[in-house]
Amino acid sequence: MSEFKVAPANASAGVKLLTWVDNRFPASKLWKEHLSEYYAPKNFNFWYFFGSLALLVLVIQIVTGIFLVMHYKPDAAQAFASVEYIMRDVPWGWLVRYMHSTGASAFFVVVYLHMFRGFLYGSYRKPRELVWIFGCAIFLCLMGEAFMGYLLPWGQMSYWGAQVIVNLFSAIPVVGPELSLMIRGDYVVSDATLNRFFSFHVIAIPLILLGLVVAHVIALHEVGSNNPDGIEIKDKKDARGVPLDGIPFHPYYSVHDLLGVVTFLILFSAVVFFAPEMGGYFLESNNFIPADSLKTPPHIAPVWYFTPFYSMLRATTDDMLKVFDVLVIVAAGLALLKGRFSGLAKAVIVVATLVVLTGFGLFKFTGIGALSGCDAKFWGVLVMGGSVVILFFMPWLDQSPVKSIRYRPDWHKAVYAVFVVVFLILGYLGIEPPDPLKTAISQVGTVLYFAFFLLMPWWSQMGTFKPVPDRVVFHAH
């Protein structure tokens, strides 16, 4: 506990009040630690806008969400009509609703760019592993939040999208059917599902999300921000203990981020006011038809931000499992031949490989029930889940001697470019109805996506690295 301070007798009322508060709550301390004396590297570039923008979008979503809940009815018989009521009869309701629907997509745009910044400059590397892990947890929450929120307008795409995704859980062996029943609260998506998704969307997940955002920022401010050079600015400090390349977050980055915020708001408003449907990508045309449990739409596609992962789910067919068989055998073979493992570890590898191969159905031909394996849908769910969960392991997958892409071999940039293109192509294919060619492309994409991560411990060390400077590269504005 800090010393009890007394304001000078002639101090202004404001100072006296602040002293009174500071003796009871660390107001000035928090302000200093997180803003006025939080030293951030001075060489932040364009990519560093997206963290504060994500926070801005979170606030937009919460505030607009509060006003939407005042008028929305989580009732299968009234939900669709209540959304149209908001659009027509509630004063400014259309604006609030469009801000919320556009905000959902904007959230993912901003978060994807924020995450990619981490990729580029190794922001997940030691000592920022927990910053990254909290961030990945935020991303997972965001996906849950978006998925459940999308059911609420109760249109055809809401309904059938939820139906398809909840059905995926039934592919899990043994507990699957019970689990999907528990999620829906009914045998089909219904009023019960709408009510629980509403509850999760407005209370449960936002609570977790806010807690994680706080943890993300506290962890970041504990270790300090990374920068485009991937240099620890805390290694070079002046006599006062202030990093030489650091500047106070406030006012330098608060005014800097203000510029980012206004730029973002220009783009955001352009969508809200001139293209709220964004050509069917933000608001799908099918979702203007009320949910009908008896009419399945000919083509069900998730909203754009889920499509890369959905593509990988669809890519996992029976044929794909055969590819997995080969890949697992090659990986296990290399581990046994090249890896320096003890005899026991080798035995574990062999057993694990056999178990996985059995799961893929490699021994189905024997006709023995226990060896029939799981169907491709289950592996698809696992692949889809794995494609997100693998992000958590980035701090340990990346073994490169430098953090930033700037000092990596040039061909590493090409690897990242291929990864981005693969991710975008997977995203595009996830919107499209499947056909054999597109499935084949998405299968190649899935293998490349996972190869990027799973082979990272090897490729990230290869090549000639450039010398990392002592101080950050900065050109005065």
Residues of this chain that bind another protein (CB under 8 A): 42, 46, 81, 84-85, 87-89, 94-95, 98, 116, 247, 251-252, 255-256, 258-259, 261-263, 265-266, 269-270, 272-274, 276-277, 280, 285-290, 413, 417, 420-421, 424-425, 427-428, 431-432, 474, 476-477
Q: Least Å distance between CB 397 and another protein?
A: 21
Nearest approach, Cβ of residue 277 and another protein (Å): 7
The residue among 417 and 462 lying less far from another protein, judged by its C-beta, is: 417
The residue among 281 and 363 lying less far from another protein, judged by its C-beta, is: 281
Nearest to 141 by CA among 244, 71, 210, 51: 210
Query: Which C-beta is closer to another protein: that of 127 or that of 276?
Result: 276
Given phi > 0 = left and psi -120 to 50 = alpha, else beta, which region is 72? Answer: beta
The C-alpha angle 222, 403, 52, rounded to 5 degrees, equals 50
Q: Which is nearer to another protein, 208 or 278 (CB)?
A: 278
Q: How far is the CB of 269 from another protein (least distance, A)?
A: 5
Minimum Å gap between C-beta 421 and another protein is 5
Interatomic CA distance for residues 130 and 122, integer angstroms: 13
DSSP string covering 89-146, please? TSTTHHHHHHHHHHHHHHHHHHHHHHHHHHHHHTTTSTT-HHHHHHHHHHHHHHHHHH
Q: Which is nearer to another protein, 56 or 328 (CB)?
A: 56
Least distance between another protein and beta carbon 410 (Å):
11
Cβ proximity to another protein: between 256 and 408 the closer is 256
Alpha helices in 300-409 (DSSP H): 307-315, 318-338, 343-359, 376-389, 394-397
- Shortest reach from residue 90's CB to another protein, in Å: 11
CB 472 within 8 A of CB 231: yes
DSSP code per residue over 148-169: HHHHTT-BHHHHHHHHHHHHHH
Strand partners, 155: 290
Tokens read off for 451 = 């190869």
Q: Taking Cα atoms as reference points, which of 460, 309, 333, 343 lies closest to residue 395?
A: 460
> Measuring CA to CA, how many Å separate 326 from each of 124, 332, 365, 400, 454?
32, 10, 17, 28, 16
Closest distance of CB 276 from another protein, Å: 8
Which CB sits closer to another protein, 389 or 420?
Answer: 420
Whole-angstrom Cα distance, residue 157 to residue 141?
A: 21
Which CB atom, from 58 or from 272, has the smaller least distance to another protein?
A: 272
Query: Which of residues 119 and 459 has its CB atom nearest to another protein in the complex?
Result: 119
Least CB distance to another protein at residue 42 (A): 6
In whole angstroms, the minimum distance from the beta carbon of 373 to another protein comes to 35
- Could you identify the residue written with the tokens 């006011």? 273
What DSSP element (H or E) covers 272?
A: helix 254-274
CB 36 within 8 A of CB 248: yes
